[in-house]
Amino acid sequence: MVTQSQFSQIQFQAVLNNFAMLYNVMKAANFVDNAIVQLSNDGMKVIVEDAKSIQASAYITRACFSEFRLAIARPSSVADAPNNPDATLPFVSFGLNLKVFTDCLSMFTSGDYDSSLKLIQKGTGAPLIVILEQHGEDDLITECSVRTMDPFDCMELDFEDEQQIVSKLNVKGMEFFQLLSEMDRNCDEIEVIISPDAPHLIFHSFGELHSETSVEITNTSDMLITFNCTDASRNRYKFHHFRLAMRTLALASKVALRTNSEGLLGLQVMIENSDSSHIFVEYFILPLMSDGDQTTL
C-alpha cells in the first residue's frame, strides 16, 4: 500500500471517480496485449496497433479526472512554447500490458457499486499502481502493481497535412455502428467509396463464395451530420479491422471519418462519459494494396 509519506516521490497521480467507461474503452482496445501509455498535461493516451495495419489511440482527457498531477521537467526547447508553435510539449511514455491492466479494472466494474480509481507511478521504469476503492457499507480497497516496460516504436500516422485529406465526414455513432453490424459478418474485405456526387458514400463488402453486400448513402441521410469531399476515392480494407473498431463504435455518440489521398482511413470516435466529459478513440486503418497500384499501402 502506498503510504502518505511516499506521495512526495510520485511523478504521476490521477483519480477517476467513475471508471466504468474507461474500463469499457480499454477492453475494446485490447485487441493486442501490449500498449504504449503517454502521459501529458492534456491527459492520458493509450496506443495499440496490430501488424502495422491498424492503430488505435484512446485519449482520456484531463477533464475526465477529478485529480490529475504530472511532474515532468520542461526541456529548454519547449520553455518558449507560447512563442514557438512547433515546440513539442513533454510527456511520459512507457509500455504496459493492457490485458493485465484491464483485468485489474474489472474487479470493481460489476454491480451497482460506487467505485473510484487512483493511478500512481513514481517514475521511469516504476510499475503503474492501480488502486480501486469501493465505497459503501463495507469500504473495500484493492491495490494492483502493473509492471511497465520500455516504450516500443509504433507507426506515425496522422492527418496533419490538410492538403492530403480528400474527405471529411461526421456521422452519428449508433447509426454508423448499426450500418456496419448489418454488413455480412463473414466478409473478408470492405470497399469504401466516397464521392462529391451521389451516391456520396458506398460501403461494399466482399465475402466468401463471391457474396457481396452494398449500402449507398447520400449526403442528405439522417446518419450524416456533415459531409465534405473534394475528390472521389475508392479503397479496400480488411473487414476484420472494422470489427475491431466496432467494439468502440458501440459506445460512440459521434464518429469523424477522414480519408487522405493515400487511402489512409481515420475514425475518430467520441464517447460521452457519465460526468459529461469525453473520451476519444482514434483508429487509423491502412488500405489493402491494389493490384494495379503497387505504391498503395
Average pLDDT over residues 80-104: 76
pLDDT given at position 73: 63
Average pLDDT over residues 90-117: 86
Q: How confident is the model at residue 185 (pLDDT cuts 50, 70, 90)?
A: confident
Q: Which residue would you say has higher pLDDT here, 135 or 12?
A: 12
195 and 143 inside one domain: no
Q: Which residue would you say has higher pLDDT here, 208 or 23?
A: 23
pLDDT given at position 112: 60
In a domain, 175, yes or no: yes
115 and 209 inside one domain: no
Q: How confident is the model at residue 227 (pLDDT cuts 50, 70, 90)?
A: very high
In a domain, 210, yes or no: yes
- Last residue in a domain, options 149, 184, 212: 149
In a domain, 202, yes or no: yes
Q: How confident is the model at residue 15 (pLDDT cuts 50, 70, 90)?
A: very high
pLDDT given at position 91: 82
- Last residue in a domain, options 91, 126, 149: 149
In a domain, 291, yes or no: no
What total number of domains does the chain contain?
2
Q: What pLDDT digit, counting tens, does each position of 234-268 carry?
A: 999 999 999 999 999 999 999 999 999 999 999 99
Out of 150-159, 208-217, 230-239, least confident range:
208-217
pLDDT at 218 over 50: yes
180 and 246 inside one domain: yes
In a domain, 157, yes or no: no
In a domain, 168, yes or no: yes
168 and 236 inside one domain: yes
232 and 260 inside one domain: yes
Out of 65-69, 87-91, 272-276, least confident range:
87-91
Q: How confident is the model at residue 86 (pLDDT cuts 50, 70, 90)?
A: very low
List the domain range (segments joined by +) for residue 275.
Answer: 162-285
Q: Which residue would you say has higher pLDDT here, 217 or 90?
A: 217
Average pLDDT over residues 13-26: 92
Average pLDDT over residues 86-91: 60
209 and 181 inside one domain: yes
- Last residue in a domain, options 149, 178, 196: 149
Q: If you write DSSP's letter for every residue of the chain in order, what string do you get?
A: ---GGGGGG-SEEEEES--HHHHHHHHHH-SSSEEEEEEETTEEEEEEEETTTEEEEEEEEGGG-SEEEE-----GGGTTGGG-TTPPPP-EEEEEEHHHHHHHHGGG-SSS-EEEEEEEE-STTPPEEEEEEEESSS-EEEEEEEPEE------------GGGEEEEEEEEHHHHHHHHHTS-TT-SEEEEEE-SSSS-EEEEEE-GGG-EEEEEE-TT-TTEEEEEESS-EEEEEEHHHHHHHHHHHTT-SEEEEEEETT--EEEEEEEE-TTS-EEEEEEEEPPPPBTTBTT--
pTM, two decimals, is 0.87
In a domain, 43, yes or no: yes
CATH number at residue 118: 3.70.10.10
Average pLDDT over residues 89-105: 91
63 and 182 inside one domain: no
40 and 101 inside one domain: yes
